[in-house]
Structure 1
């Protein structure tokens, strides 16, 4: 979840207002998430954790109800590890395909 007035919130708000677009590299992943889980992805934000060693994706969805879909038992507890795995695998696949096309 993103909290106002953070930079992620401002970037996502601009997308919702039509003043900006989701980064091109994340559109295929957003389409996958939307069709697989029946949600509306507004933005995907990539950063790193573990001193830059691990990529992390933050998926910004339209509603809290949609976010609950990604938590265990539909509660705001731990994220569902299977859904995390599916999204991570799809992201890696898209990234590999993009790198292969660039060659």
Structure 2
């Protein structure tokens, strides 16, 4: 059963109750002033994942960003090989120039 947080409209105190999901807010009694004027508050919750791993929001966002970037890379023209060939300088080896490398 879930734990709900309440604020009493009569005395302003906050309190928690373990109640079924079908419990009515109107039936909740304040433990401090015993009034039936409680308002259910929004609170965080915990979830126990059993079985397969379920992707969280941060992971889903990262996967979506990765997909977007991969789509951009796929649309790029394949110029990497051409660019590398045009930038590589022509270097002649010492054997091509006729030099022996001995200072002759």
Normalising by structure 2, what TM-score?
0.22
Normalising by structure 1, what TM-score?
0.22
Of Structure 1 and Structure 2, the greater helix share is in 1
